[in-house]
Structure 1
């Protein structure tokens, strides 16, 4: 019936385009022929057109089931721009007033409306089902179809009820569309929508213009400011997992002269919409957002997508990074990774149903694998979505640009395959690795796998090493993961052949992010200017002599190292150095910044951008409460208890306060818990004998049997506070 339609002419007439992208035309033809259609097309590939054009051509109204109100409004506005008739597209959801709903229904019944967008929650309402039964439906389109799958990154229970509702309203072809789906998710969607026989159109997931990079999460905020400032005027999206972090980071960017706005579900709808519009209209360059932002936002020239926190799944990661470079231009995707974030995400899952926890855990493991791997990131990402990337080096990810040393993995791969075979392909990778490492735990004991001849056959290496081997065996196609029982390792035909006839396969060890601190202080980095560091030490020595103080009272070594790395040239910048507060900068800082300024000018040094980072005033409620408690002469153990801190944690907080230049008086507590003679001896040691403020060195000198660490720390606080501040 529609074969006579000239699709090229319709495309030009309705949308003004001369040609279709990718396989858009074949997809549209399949739908026009009345067939169920499954479309897997990356962000920016032109999914929407696959249902918009047929909706305009076919008689009746197309029902577009879409998850986000903001996205519907965006799409409806876009469709109205292409048509002279405003009624051509409408949405039906909870944001409409009663009179607006009446208008929508009138337009639909009058045959004016070709596309009716509904949220899955609206679709299931009895009055809407009754209304939709009265009209001719051309087809149903399920957009963002990954929401159907519990394996997707955005599980929505209402999406699981779509099929029965469609059957109740009236049968018509179904087109399901998504930008991210692993083979497992695809199967889950098709099964749930009752469209296992649908024709599947799968576009390549390879976005060749995107550059992927994972960095250790060390001083991430400063790093981000540096990246944004090096790309002034370019549009960027920064993703954080918590609303609190979104607010904090947006504030930090603004303080540092970057045009940025926050976006998260906790904001009221009008603020969210206003911030989204500012970004689209380029009144701001950066949006800091939770994943609530970006679905269906058609801004083609986003140049940077930064993940401050690693996402919960690779689907989420792929979809979010996919918002970069949609116009085919530059798109840099930088992720900050620390394993601590994974531990946090696992904690969030506690309390959910066990099945959901298990799924979430498996998805997290895939994300960890992606972050830690040293293999081409494009290859790993495409393999996850069931696509093979043939090139050895994509030349557009950090691992390919800076390859790690490789080793012959033949023997290691064979060990992995043999263990998988030995346990009848019924276990996940962590259990296989426990067998290889010879780990005695409940699982290996209860299955009697500690009695296998292969148990401990790889104990010369750790679990990180074996994780890398298993992951690369999957990418090489020697192993696969069972779609139905997610995570069970299976041998492929290629793997079975490899066991018979092994050959050299080069593998790389994973990155080691274990030692990376979340927001570690700067200093001690490779960029340390040794000449300046020695000059600063000399200045400190002279000043100490003049003021008759031990040098460490003025500034500690880590502070000098940071100065010799970041070159602060004003007292304001000096306060961003670890261990330097306003008081200390005021008291000792002028000579130091003068020296640094002169050194920078004489040697024509380009200062790193990070140094210009201004910090938002420290709002630590703990610090304020501790100072107030000390002012009221509350005993330290009572302050610790009231704040839920251990004594060690409380002393660390007080040390941080006094080392930054704030004076506190804890004499009342020391007098209560210490012998005056002990106190005076420790004080005298720090004033006259100590070369450093190191506690261990002090204990060795004073005698560990006579003095406790806690006593020495308390007197050191008293000493620094009285003499240095």
Structure 2
């Protein structure tokens, strides 16, 4: 069978994908790879990375081979391409023998435009012989940060991908990731032997995402308020560190009338697959998950990502929050953060397996995450600086919209450190933060009385601050390394720099949380809407909802996620323009030739019924 003639890159963009213009940076990358050049691409989630290898695969002769760690999502990725009229397939452990033989035969016959493989399968000699028997147009290494020991999703099988160039020296390679500090970037290039490749580094800024970090104060209640006031009926992801927390939060949300389902490694594979499928294929579902969930999720209409526990690194936080708003519409990244998070993660690092170098690396990751949480500056400026990029205050994060106050916390810090010193040196005792705070505020708990701690000179010296304010002080001291957590029982201890504070050789400015006004933050989030996604009129909203209903029914009938049919952004534009002919409908972004032929008349019929 002769391969279809797709045309050049611009023709493929319009005819297949339904877009008139490339996003910033895409065209240069695509032309470089089409010409046979190797590329290392750093581009944010939602920035259009996939087109950077999909379009060259359609323009170049042969089959583009995509190496992806996302076995559970390959089916949806291939379905999305097939809906566009692209000949795509995958080989992984979910296929039975006959299905695998069919895909292999199709590849050998030159009847595939894209073939998805897991890195584990590519290492097999049988797979390498298969690729030798066909015509490979390029190798795309997706989620390339998985090769890096510096990253947060390290996959040892990615290390073998350095051999691609040795076996197939004439086939161009493109490695892509949305998460890379300068150190990770350098390691990807080295391990994949892409030092001589052309490097493309886009801005990591996602201006449609509003970053917000709130002090923990009944986090379940805080989460419920966020969902009810700002995201009713929206799809979203809630991240927790433990499986137990995932189960409890999912149950809590369900009890309060919100469609929420759990996802973690402790669930059996069938349940995980069913819950992931439901999240992808239904509108308005919230998934509560550990970080086992999310890499490669293409769902474009995730309106929020919430963290109920502190992420272990800025890389993890950035990639997880990046799963919100892939369609460019306003979205929220919300994190509840408290003293116990710092205590728990410090303790986990100190007791973790691995050598001192590993623990130092984990500690450095956590320090950077804490600096992001405690900053009085723009969150986005701090976040982008971590990835080596300069920016200006964004006006769309909590510190820009409701700036925190900075106050001289030196005396408060001295009181905490003095209490810890007296317990440790005078009494040979160590206690956790809660007990130290009880001593400072002069609270005669049974434990305080039992150990005669109401007789300490520091008892009651902190009555000027509330217990909640003292938790903030302790949290900030831990964040800055002026106080330490002992790995044995999570007790507090002084550090090498504590003495400088006690001697007043070091001042300690601290952050005081302002009162957050949800209405102001929500208004700012809506104001950041991209021009193509401006607020719909009442009439257009009604049309949009009818189109969504049609899309849901169509997707269910075909067994694919709704976004495989059309993205929300495309339906919004249809609702606004109200096209009356196939020609007019074909001018809408996201309506390519295949989708116009497949769904065009159905859309016009739906519009005519309204």
TM-score, length-normalised on structure 2?
Answer: 0.65
Displacement after TM superposition at 1:459 (Å): 6.1
When residues 243 and 347 of structure 1 are mapped into structure 2, their CA distance, relative to the original with a 3 A threshold, is same
Aligned twin of 2:305: 305
> Does the CA contact (< 8 Å) of 1:301 and 1:327 recur in 2?
yes
Show the counterpart of 1:509: 510
Map of 1:295 onto structure 2: 295
Structure-2 residue corresponding to 1:23: 25
Contact 2:92 2:118 in 1 (8 A): yes
**Residue of structure 1 equivalent to 2:276:** 276
SS of the aligned residue for 2:133 comes to coil
Alignment partners' CA distance in 2, 1:196 and 1:365: 30
**Closer, same or farther in 2 for the Cα pair 1:165/1:281, shift >3 Å?**
closer
Q: What does residue 194 of structure 1 align with?
A: 193
Written as runs of structure 1 = structure 2, the 5 A alignment for 1:175-254 is 175-230=174-229, 231-254=231-254
Name the counterpart of 2:377.
375
Following the alignment from structure 1 to structure 2, what is the Cα–Cα distance between the partners of residues 371 and 332?
16
Q: Secondary structure at the match of 1:158?
A: helix
Residue 341 of structure 1 and its aligned partner are, at CA, apart by 2.3
Q: 1:114 to 1:456 in 2, by over 3 A?
A: same
How far residue 460 of structure 1 moved from its aligned partner, in angstroms, is: 5.2
**Structure 1 residue 136, shift from structure 2 partner:** 2.3
Measured in 2, the distance between the counterparts of 1:77 and 1:283 equals 18
TM-aligned CA deviation for residue 378 of structure 1: 0.7
Separation in structure 2 between the aligned mates of residue 290 and residue 455 of structure 1, nearest angstrom: 35
CA distance in 2, matches of 1:376, 1:104: 50
- Please show how residues 42-57 of structure 1 align to structure 2 within 5 Å: 42-57=44-59
Q: Is the 8 A contact 1:79 1:89 kept in 2?
A: yes
Look up the match of 1:267. Answer: 267
Matches within 5 A, 1:290-439: 290-349=290-349, 350-354=351-355, 355-391=357-393, 394-405=394-405
1:10 offset after TM fit, Å? 2.0
Residue 246 of structure 2 contacts residue 288 of structure 2 at CA under 8 Å; is this kept in 1? Answer: yes
- Report deviation, 1:455: 12
State the distance in 2 between where 1:176 and 1:462 align. Answer: 49
Q: Indicate the SS of the match to 1:258.
A: coil
Larger radius of gyration: 1
| 2: CA distance, partners of 1:251 / 1:363 | 32
Q: Does 1:162 align with 2:145?
A: no
Conserved? CA contact 2:66–2:139, under 8 Å: yes
Distance 1:373 1:462, change over 3 A: farther
Separation in 2 of the partners of 1:213 and 1:356? 30
User: Which residue of structure 1 aligns with residue 75 of structure 2?
Assistant: 73
Q: Conserved in 2, the CA contact under 8 Å of 1:373 and 1:509?
A: no
Helix, strand or coil: the match of 1:304? strand
Deviates more, 1:59-68 or 1:288-297: 288-297
1:481-520 to structure 2, matched below 5 A, reads 509-510=510-511
| CA distance, structure 2, for counterparts of residue 101 and residue 276 of structure 1 | 24
- In structure 2, do the counterparts of structure 1 residues 406 and 345 end up closer, same or farther at CA, with 3 Å as the change threshold? closer
Superposition pairs of residues 4-19 of structure 1, within 5 angstroms: 6-19=8-21
Deviations 1:207-266 (A, max 9, x none): 112111111222111211122122321222101111221111101111111111112233
Corresponding residue of 2:137 = 138
**1:280: Cα distance to partner?**
3.1
Contact 2:37 2:172 in 1 (8 A): yes
Give CA-to-partner distance per residue, 1:165-221, whole Å, 9 cap, x none: 542355421111011111111011001111112212122111112111111222111
Is 2:240–2:288's contact at 8 Å kept on the other side of the alignment?
Answer: yes
Residues 348/71 of structure 1: CA separation in 2 closer, same or farther (3 Å cut): farther
d(CA) in 2 for partners of 1:283, 1:50: 28
SS in 1 for 2:167: helix
CA gap 1:351/1:103 in 2 versus in 1, 3 angstroms:
same
Offset of residue 126 of structure 1: 2.2
**Distance in 2 between residues matched to 1:25 and 1:397, nearest whole Å:** 31
- Distance in 2 between the 1:118 and 1:135 partners? 15
Moved more, 21-30 or 341-350: 341-350
Distance 1:89-1:281 versus aligned 2 partners, 3 A rule: closer
Taking the aligned partners of 2:221 and 2:291, their CA distance within structure 1 comes to 22
C-alpha distance 299-455 of structure 1, shift in aligned 2 (>3 A): closer
Name the structure, 1 or 2, with higher relative contact order (CA <8 Å, separation 6+): 2
How far apart are the structure 2 equivalents of 1:283 and 1:382?
Answer: 32
Q: Where in structure 1 are there 5+ consecutive unaligned residues?
A: 409-429, 438-449, 467-507, 514-524, 527-725
1:154 aligns to what SS in structure 2? Answer: coil
Report the secondary structure of 1:116's partner residue: strand
Equivalent residues of 1:240, 1:246 under 8 A apart: yes
Q: Is the 8 A contact 2:405 2:511 kept in 1?
A: no
Task: State the Cα distance separating 1:96 from its structure 2 match.
Answer: 1.9
CA contact (8 A) 2:139 2:171 kept: yes
Describe the shift of the 1:169–1:221 C-alpha distance in structure 2 as closer, same or farther (beyond 3 A).
Answer: same
**Unmatched 5+ residue regions in structure 2?**
1-5, 409-476, 484-495, 517-610
State the TM-score, normalizing by the size of structure 1.
0.55
Q: Alpha-carbon deviation of 1:309?
A: 1.0
Does residue 1:258 correspond to 2:258, yes or no? yes
Q: Deviation at 1:284?
A: 4.5
| Secondary structure of 2:16's aligned partner | helix
Contact residue 261 and residue 284 of structure 1 kept, 8 A? no
